[in-house]
Structure 1
Amino acid sequence: MLLTDWNHILDNILPDESSEAYISDIFVRPLIKALGFNQQEHFSEFTTGNGTVDFAARKNVDSDIFALSRVNPYLLIEVKAPATGAGAKFNLSEDTPQYINTREQIKRYLLASKCNTSQWGLITNSVHIQLFRRHGKVVFPATQSILIKKDNINAIVSNVKDLIHNPPKALTICVYNNKGGVGKTTTTVNLAATLVQQGKRVLVIDFDPQQGDLTKSLGLQVRKISLYDCLSDRYLNIHDTVQPFTVKFKSGKLLQFDVIPADPKLENLTEQDLATRIEKGSARLKDALKAFVYEYDYIFIDCPTNWMFFSQSSLYACDVVLIPTKHNNLASLDNAAKVIKELVPKVKAARRDGGPIALPIFFNGESITPPQLKTATQEIEAIITREMQVSKFNLLPYFWPKTTRANIDKTIYSLPSYAIVANAAFSRIPAAFKNSTAAEYYRGLAKEYFIL
């Protein structure tokens, strides 16, 4: 759509007076057309299975006319009345109550029973606009909530159109807690093995050069061209750092995920060395991994505990942060809260593209007795209450994600303890490949967070 058209449209929006229906007609319908959907490829009031979204869109496929069949939507759009003046109804600036409610609303729609094919969700009130991406069971921001102006509307539309018609394939996951001993590496390698068993293509990056536990546990060594080489020289091909990790089963079946091993060249470099030698610093890893986002279904990053270059780079590069904790370790709970309320927002502010987001915590690899669970629950209650009082940050969705306004559910997903998982490193094969019980545990974890 031409700039003059958008000028005309924006001139006719009166923020204090325009209704939702008016915004739908004067702003959203032209937006849908500008995003590449014709009149037969979208319609209003789509029943998702968990409420009704304002618009749904999908390209027609042969004789399947979306406006007639009304199945398998691709893009969902939720519209609100604008909000800038005293008569405002909805303010979609990030972190306002109206924004949070609308964000959760589009998330519910995208995950509803009739929207399994949906990959994108858009919220707008003609003053702000934000795009969300769905990958399996995860919904996360693909852009910031952007203030719409005449001088940026064309760029906004162009960017959204490019994203929805050329979607990255991969979900990039950083497994992180700002506390050691919570099983980050074990979680990473076994989730990779589990997702491969589900037919997914997986890449794992060991970005903990000082420990390199993931690389050692798989019996791998760095190749001639290393990750450090590619981070410090953007003209090298990062694909040359990748090594396949393959397991052959007795049946003859082969399963493989790919690994970028830990790089010893990074081990003894100081923070100052890294800042000097790697252009863009902690933002460089994200740029380097763009080479893989159309090739893999999942990209996992295993990084060290301390908040330094490697962990900062890993959070900067990911879409979501998965946070293992221990129910019997107060420090792991406190540090999980720190990751959620402090470190993720810090990286999000630096990236300015909507990401990353934190996923709810889970208890990793411990047997929990009822008294222990009661103690952990009391501690979590104290953490949630403290942060709400001190920083006004609501940790409840990250610790008790099943809680709703109508029902307080303090369930936290728990991965049971099992000896074969801890001992698997000696065999250089992930436990999820070796043992059916371990495989079942990690399949449950994958289904809880990632796959349908």
Structure 2
Amino acid sequence: ETCAAVVEQHFVQPLLSVLGFSDRDRLSFFDTGAGIADVAARFPRENQPPFCQTQVDPDLIVEIKTPARRSRNTPTQTVALNLDSRSTHQSRALQQLRQLLSGCHCQRTTWGLITNARHLQLFQRHGHLVYPATPNYELTGDRLEGIIEDLKTCLQSRPRAITLCLYNHKGGVGKTTTTINLGATLAVANAAVLLIDCDPQGDLSRALELTPTNTTLASCLQNPEEPITATIRPFHLRIRTSSSIQSAHIFDVIPAAPDLQSILIQAMQTQNPPITRLRECLLPLRDRYDYILIDCPSAWLFLSKSAVYASDAVLIPTRHTDLSSLNNAAQVIHQFLFGEIHTLRREGGPLPLPIFFNGAPTTDKAMAVAQAEIERILQKLPHLTPYFWPQYQANDTSVFAIPEYAIISRAAFARVPAVFKDKRVLGFYQTLVQTYLQPLT
């Protein structure tokens, strides 16, 4: 009997029973369409056959790792396999889990779990993205009951929205433009979208001609009694027809207000400002939208830290003609996310997405200079390779790029997302969505 089989029999199957999965709604060696998952399970459903008969779209798949393996050098000895956060084994297991969840038999599967009976972590999927839903628990007898309750809470209350922050520790890389056009592109695909202007300069709000309500984002951050729903304004697109001008709702926005600057100054004067507050504020909105996109200032201060802490994933625009934006992207991932926010969040979130080049003229020489700079960065920080060259294992060092088009800049003066002014621009952002988030239907 293999170690993995022992873990499944004596740990995973009893755990699934406690979590509410019946015997007939669990399968071993489940074919996801992109590989074999060790275990798959689906909650019982009224008036539907059990999962063992349908064998498609489980609620949860489980990737089992053995607690130890035999040493290559000394076959009589075993080597413990470490599933601690960001360990090599944990990273490989997560990569396998993402691959399995991409299978055609898991199109509606939301949850993935990795365990070796010593560690356990639950992950959530939203489109292409798979990100942490719980801390990476170290399993001990006195904590097991609390861990099971945490798992039950997650599995029974999946949030509808994914929260995505647009951030780089460098100005002028198109964070605001990307937030607006990404939001509009998702809305075109019938997603319910909320944009949050977390920058005191208010560029996003100004570009959409939206002013704050009497209840502001800053007041919600300061006072838990203030309802976050009262900050929301709808953005409508005016459509001119031959006989009239009609209005179409595109997405909702929480505009910036001047008091954001005041709260930023107050936070700078406080030793430990509460960067967890924005994440708590957004909880009531996570079942109202499909996507929550946060545009925040470049400086790594209270508002940006709050936005990143509140997010499930971070999208990092860069410019290949601006080498400092590449180095700052590395700093965001290595220092700010891995070194600071992940420590505070404990569960390994938010997920950094691969960088992309945003709106700069593309020449072979400029691209060669950028790729050489990326190579220098990765020589110092090789663990960042998947975030700069996501296809590196296939010998592909390409970086996704949105070309420079004047219409993207001009659209801001018309107070209209550029994707509504030019079909080519819409195509660029649809490709961005398909590459990083999910296929558009």
Q: Same fold (TM over 0.5)?
A: yes
- Separation of aligned partners in 2, 1:109 and 1:71: 13
Matched, 1:154 2:148: no
Q: CA deviation at 1:95?
A: 2.2
Aligned partner of residue 381 in structure 2, secondary structure: helix
User: What is the deviation of 1:218?
Assistant: 0.4
Query: Aligned to 1:301, what secondary structure does the other structure show?
Result: strand
For 1:251-290, what aligned pairs fall within 5 Å after superposition? 254-269=248-263, 271-273=265-267, 281-290=274-283
Correspondence for 1:114 among 88, 105, 114: 105
* SS of aligned partner of 1:54: strand
> 1:273 Cα deviation (Å)?
4.8
Report if aligned partners of 1:275, 1:281 keep a CA contact under 8 Å in 2.
Answer: no
Moved more, 197-206 or 426-435: 426-435
**CA apart distance, 1:69:** 1.4
Contact 1:274 1:281 in 2 (8 A): no
Q: In the alignment, residue 308 of structure 1 is paired with which amino acid?
A: L
Matches within 5 A, 1:420-431: 420-431=407-418
Measured after TM superposition, the shift of residue 139 of structure 1 is: 0.8
Query: Is the contact between residue 197 and residue 255 of structure 1 (CA under 8 Å) also seen in structure 2?
Result: no
Looking at structure 2, the residues matched to 43 and 55 of structure 1 have their Cα atoms a distance apart, in angstroms, of: 6
Query: For the residues of structure 2 that align with 1:120 and 1:371, how far apart are their CA atoms?
Result: 44
Contact 2:112 2:124 in 1 (8 A): yes
Q: In structure 1, how many angstroms separate the alpha carbons of the residues matched to 2:240 and 2:21?
A: 50
Alpha-carbon offset, residue 281 of structure 1? 1.6
2:302 — aligned with what? 309
Specify the alignment match of 1:12 in structure 2: none
CA distance in 2, matches of 1:249, 1:374: 43
What stretches of structure 1 of length at least 5 have no aligned partner?
Answer: 1-16, 389-393
Q: Does 1:386 align with 2:371?
A: no
Q: 1:287 deviation in Å?
A: 0.7
User: What's the counterpart of residue 325 of structure 2?
Assistant: 332
RMSD: 2.0
Answer yes or no: is 1:432 the counterpart of 2:390.
no
Give the equivalent residue in structure 2 for 1:443.
430
1:89 Cα deviation after fit = 4.7
Deviation at 1:197, TM superposition (A): 0.5
3-state SS of 1:401 partner: coil
1:61-100 residue pairs with structure 2 within 5 A? 61=45, 62-83=47-68, 87-100=78-91
Q: CA, structure 1 residues 174+26, in 2 after alignment: closer, same or farther (shift >3 Å)?
A: same
Q: Could you tell me how far 1:276 is from its partner in structure 2?
A: 5.4
Which amino acid in 1 is paired with 2:51? F
User: Residue 242 of structure 1: which of 224, 227, 232 is its match?
Assistant: 232
Residue aligning to 1:318 = 311
User: In structure 2, what is the equivalent of residue 13 of structure 1?
Assistant: none
Q: Does 1:52 align with 2:40?
A: no
* Change beyond 3 A, Cα 1:76–1:275: farther
Mapped contact 2:264–2:303 kept (Cα < 8 A): no
Moved more, 259-268 or 317-326: 259-268
- The residue matched to 2:249 in structure 1 has which SS? strand
SS in 2 for 1:267: helix
Q: Residues 218 and 263 of structure 2 are in contact (CA less than 8 Å); yes or no, is this contact kept in structure 1?
A: no
Q: 2:166 aligns with which of 164, 175, 185?
A: 175
Q: Give the superposition deviation at 1:113.
A: 2.7
Residue of structure 2 equivalent to 1:400: 389
Query: In structure 1, what residue type is equivalent to 2:232?
Result: V
Say whether 1:39 aligns with 2:23: yes
Distance 1:230 1:422, change over 3 A: same
Given that 1:83 and 1:127 are in contact with CA atoms closer than 8 Å, whether structure 2 keeps it comes out as no
- Classify the secondary structure of the residue corresponding to 2:306: helix
Report the counterpart of residue 20 of structure 1 in structure 2: 4
Partner of 2:215: 225
Q: How does 1:407-418 map to 2 (within 5 A)?
A: 407-418=394-405
Q: State the alpha-carbon separation in 2 of the partners of residues 217 and 236 from structure 1.
A: 26
Change (3 A) 1:116 1:275: farther
Cα contact 1:362–1:412 (8 A) shared by 2: yes
* Structure 1 position 429, deviation (Å): 1.1
Residues 280 and 162 of structure 1: CA distance in aligned 2, closer, same or farther (over 3 Å):
farther
Matched residue SS, 2:180: helix
Q: Deviations over 1:285-337 (max 9, x none)?
A: 11101111111100011000011111111111101110000011110000001
Distance 1:364 1:153, change over 3 A: same
Residue aligning to 1:216:
206
Q: CA deviation at 1:112?
A: 2.2
1:37 corresponds to which letter in structure 2? F
Q: Percent identity?
A: 41
Asked whether the equivalents of residues 168 and 325 of structure 2 are also in contact (C-alpha less than 8 Å), the reply is yes
- 1:392-434 deviation per Cα after TM superposition (whole angstroms, max 9, x unaligned): xx11100110121xx3101111111111110111111111123
Q: Quick check: 197-206 or 110-119, which moved more?
A: 110-119
2:73 aligned partner: none
Q: Distance in 2 between matches of 1:158 and 1:322?
A: 32
Change (3 A) 1:270 1:246: closer
Q: Is the 8 A contact 1:82 1:127 kept in 2?
A: yes
What CA deviation, in whole Å up to 9, does each residue of 1:151-184 have, x standing for no partner?
1111111111221221011110110000111000
- Say if 2:136 and 2:346, in contact at 8 Å, map to a contact too: no
Count matched residues. 427
Q: Which residue of 2 aligns with 1:373?
A: 367
- Say whether the 8 Å CA contact 1:206–1:260 is kept in structure 2: yes
How far residue 269 of structure 1 moved from its aligned partner, in angstroms, is 4.5
**CA 1:373 to 1:274, structure 2 compared with 1: closer, same or farther past 3 Å?**
closer
Task: Give unmatched runs, 5+ long, in structure 2.
Answer: 71-76
* Structure 1: 4+ residue segments shifted above 6 A: none
Question: Does the CA contact (< 8 Å) of 2:389 and 2:396 recur in 1?
Answer: yes
Is 317-326 or 422-431 further displaced after alignment? 422-431
Q: Does 1:364 align with 2:348?
A: no
TM-score where L is the length of structure 2: 0.93
For residues 94-141 of structure 1, give each alpha carbon's deviation from its aligned partner in whole angstroms, at most 9, with x where no partner exists: 222211111111111112232111111000011100011100011111
Q: Tell me which amino acid in the other structure corresponds to 2:332.
A: V
8 Å contact from structure 2 (residues 22, 44) kept in 1: no
Q: Give the aligned residue type for 1:45.
A: F
